[in-house]
A and B are shown apart, each in its own frame.
Chain A
Amino acid sequence: MSSNTVRMTDVAIVDEPRSTKPAGATDGPATADSGGSGGRRSPSPVFGHPARAREVKDHLARVVMWLAFLLALVPLVWILWTVLSQGYHLLLQSEWWTNSQKGITSRREGGGAVHAIQGTLIQGLTTAVISVPIGVMTAIYLVEYGRGKFAKAVSFMVDILTGIPSIVAGLFIYAVWVTTLGLQRVGFAVCLALVMLMVPVIVRSTEEMLKLVPNELREASYALGVPKWKTIMKVVLPTAFSGIVTGVLLGLARVMGETAPLLILGPYTKAIATDLFGGYMATLPTMINQDRSESLQPAVDRVWAAALTLILLVLLLNIAGRVVARFGSVRK
């Protein structure tokens, strides 16, 4: 008789059809958190305790998720730790930040990475300056204007660009710049190859950010008699600004660590060179490549240090981007 009253309450609260099963076998809302509160073993008179099988599955899923997370974390921590421990001591010397490798052979210690750092920065920023307008405007076209076949074709092209290996981009520019136009291998050619890699990243990330801007804001702006282009400039872009900046920085980070086009188009030099059209120009990836080919300890040390410098550079860029994004959006 008493179990019958339990069923009545059960029905009233859980809104579940009467069943012949005992109360303990049903899925009540109270079991949503089966993380193991103390009362798990003593069934509540109304909702019962969680079904055994579901509890097991829940735990299993939890364990698998944590394992996957740790598995993904292992190589990351490993790389960071190795690079940090092997590379930090050169970074502590002021010479590293002030000198180039000019006149320093792989047998000798000393010298710095200034030539490579500024090369990477110059090429990275030049690439960004070219890519950001192209990428952002393409994304604006795709989200705000693009309808029909042409937009689909553009979107498809961007997909293809996303997938091209960096060495293909490098070879393509080589074919155009050196083989067809007969020009020298220079830093600017590297930038062109990197643009091919960066544009699709910016297009895709900016597209996602623009799609996140609620349509209501566009309509609110139209309803005020604001033309479409101004709505995009003054309402849509500012709303998506921080997301776009983040996307640009991710693209830049990818591009700055890129190596294949540099090997093809950007011959390394140990001296400081700032002219994008002047031939030789060092970058961190090519510096790493150069010193990697030596087995002598001073060169190996420089490889680790250069790798760490590159990681730090990307990290700094990310922090800078976050700061810009925070101050850029007017949300006070």
Chain B
Amino acid sequence: MAKRIDVSDLNVYYGSFKAVEGVTMTVEPRSVTAFIGPSGCGKSTFLRTLNRMHEVIPGGRVEGKVMLDDQDLYGSGVDPVAVRRTVGMVFQRPNPFPTMSIYDNVAAGLKLNGIKGKKKLDEVVEKSLHGANLWNEVKDRLNKPGAGLSGGQQQRLCIARAIAVEPQVLLMDEPCSALDPISTLAIEDLISELKSKYTIVIVTHNMQQAARVSDQTAFFNLAATGKPGKLIEIADTQKIFSNPSVKATEDYISGRFG
């Protein structure tokens, strides 16, 4: 179910501005990969190219290759909508649909893609909420609005919504940065569980978090404001945090800059 991501020599642009340059990396299936680096270095931008969300922004385009197993995401004739069904995403701020109940939020991906049948939907909703460790908290109020939950619950609701469409890969863009430590812990536990089924890529500003949850870590940096961000190094998390091969990585991790 989970798939491998192979990125080779990817450049990302906003109009004529090159935001990220020359990224090459491999993300193994059923693993967690963390992206760290200072603000503005292109982590999130790069993450969004992995499910073609980048091109939603006017002027957004990429050069290079992103392979999901043996399928080129940017090949001709590839439907970005289909890509996004395969590669799900969780955002920085919890964004449940305000007009929908908890149930409908989780079922949104299926319902909006035309899948009907109450029994099937009931099953998926329960399974996804279990998967997001939210079922016990909301099972008695599935018809209440999703926006009425706490921030941490909302974020888990968004994760449930993302896994309800059964993606191969789950991208997380600073999923805990708007949450308190307890909710963060809940999400981190969840990530460790989800790892057994999905390929997970997470952007985080929290280095302890990267160290706790990820199997490999990629460090991004940019030479100066206005210059494109680059992948400095990617390696096993343990190696990055104990013995990085590039000095900039060590400086960043040890808090000497950034």
Point out residues on A near B: beta carbons under 8 Å.
147, 214, 216-227, 230-231, 234-235, 238-239, 241, 329-332
Say whether A225 contacts B82, CB under 8 Å: yes
Other CB < 8 Å A-B pairs besides A219-B53, A224-B109, A226-B81, 12 of them? A216-B91, A219-B56, A219-B95, A220-B91, A220-B158, A224-B112, A225-B81, A226-B109, A235-B112, A330-B99, A330-B145, A331-B98
Identify the closest chain A residue to B105 (Cβ).
A220
Chain B interface, >50% SS class: mixed
- Given A214-B95, A332-B145: A222 in contact with B56 (beta carbons within 8 A): yes
Q: Which A residues are in CB contact (< 8 Å) with B98?
A: 217, 239, 331
State A214–B97 Cα separation when bound (angstroms): 10
State A16–B248 Cα separation when bound (angstroms): 38
Say whether A222 contacts B53, CB under 8 Å: yes
Q: Which A residues are in CB contact (< 8 Å) with B112?
A: 221, 224, 226, 230-231, 234-235
Identify the closest chain B residue to A233 (Cβ).
B112
24 contacts between A and B (CB under 8 A): A147-B58, A216-B91, A216-B93, A219-B89, A222-B53, A222-B84, A223-B53, A223-B88, A223-B91, A224-B88, A224-B109, A225-B113, A226-B109, A226-B112, A231-B112, A235-B97, A238-B99, A239-B98, A329-B99, A330-B145, A331-B98, A331-B145, A332-B101, A332-B145
Q: Does B51 contact A (CB under 8 A)?
A: yes
Q: Which A residues are in CB contact (< 8 Å) with B95?
A: 214, 216-217, 219-220
Q: Does B143 contact A (CB under 8 A)?
A: yes
State A305–B144 Cα separation when bound (angstroms): 47
State A227–B104 Cα separation when bound (angstroms): 18
What is the size category of the interface that chain B forms with chain A? 20 to 34
Distance in Å: Cβ of B140 to nearest Cβ of chain A: 15
Q: Which A residues are in CB contact (< 8 Å) with B100?
A: 330
State A194–B81 Cα separation when bound (angstroms): 41
Distance in Å: Cβ of A328 to nearest Cβ of chain B: 9
Point out residues on B near A: beta carbons under 8 Å.
51, 53, 56, 58, 81-86, 88-89, 91, 93, 95-101, 104, 108-109, 112-113, 143-145, 147, 158, 161-162, 165
Q: Which B residues are in CB contact (< 8 Å) with A216?
A: 91, 93, 95
State A329–B98 Cα separation when bound (angstroms): 9
Of the residues A214, A223, A235, contact of B162 by C-beta under 8 Å:
A223
Say whether B101 contacts A223, CB under 8 Å: no
State A224–B104 Cα separation when bound (angstroms): 13
CB-CB nearest 7 A-B residue pairs:
A225-B85, A224-B109, A223-B89, A216-B95, A225-B84, A238-B99, A226-B112
Q: Which A residues are in CB contact (< 8 Å) with B93?
A: 216
State A299–B97 Cα separation when bound (angstroms): 56
Of the residues B99, B143, B161, contact of A224 by C-beta under 8 Å:
B161
Of the residues A214, A224, A330, A332, contact of B84 by C-beta under 8 Å:
A224
- Given A217-B95, A230-B112: A223 in contact with B51 (beta carbons within 8 A): yes
Distance in Å: Cβ of B105 to nearest Cβ of chain A: 9
Identify the closest chain B residue to A147 (Cβ).
B58
Identify the closest chain B residue to A239 (Cβ).
B99
Identify the closest chain B residue to A224 (Cβ).
B109
Distance in Å: Cβ of B177 to nearest Cβ of chain A: 14
Q: Which A residues are in CB contact (< 8 Å) with B58?
A: 147
State A216–B95 Cα separation when bound (angstroms): 6
State A266–B153 Cα separation when bound (angstroms): 59
State A241–B100 Cα separation when bound (angstroms): 13
State A222–B91 Cα separation when bound (angstroms): 12
Say whether B162 contacts A224, CB under 8 Å: yes
Q: Which B residues are in CB contact (< 8 Å) with A220?
A: 91, 95-97, 158, 161
Say whether B108 contacts A224, CB under 8 Å: yes
Distance in Å: Cβ of B13 to nearest Cβ of chain A: 17
Distance in Å: Cβ of A232 to nearest Cβ of chain B: 11
Q: Which A residues are in CB contact (< 8 Å) with B97?
A: 217, 220-221, 235, 239
State A304–B2 Cα separation when bound (angstroms): 74
Q: Which A residues are in CB contact (< 8 Å) with B109?
A: 224-226
Say whether A219 contacts B165, CB under 8 Å: no
Distance in Å: Cβ of A214 to nearest Cβ of chain B: 7
State A219–B95 Cα separation when bound (angstroms): 9
State A57–B241 Cα separation when bound (angstroms): 59
Distance in Å: Cβ of A89 to nearest Cβ of chain B: 46
Determine which residue in B51, B81, B93 has the highest number of CB atoms from chain A within 10 A of its CB, and name it: B81
Q: Which A residues are in CB contact (< 8 Å) with B145?
A: 330-332
State A220–B162 Cα separation when bound (angstroms): 9
State A230–B108 Cα separation when bound (angstroms): 11
Distance in Å: Cβ of A145 to nearest Cβ of chain B: 11
Identify the closest chain A residue to B171 (Cβ).
A223
Distance in Å: Cβ of B83 to nearest Cβ of chain A: 8
Q: Which B residues are in CB contact (< 8 Å) with A241?
A: 99
Q: Which B residues are in CB contact (< 8 Å) with A235?
A: 97, 99, 112
Of the residues A217, A238, A332, contact of B144 by C-beta under 8 Å:
A332
Distance in Å: Cβ of A223 to nearest Cβ of chain B: 4
Q: Which B residues are in CB contact (< 8 Å) with A222?
A: 53, 56, 81, 84
State A177–B147 Cα separation when bound (angstroms): 51
Say whether A226 contacts B144, CB under 8 Å: no
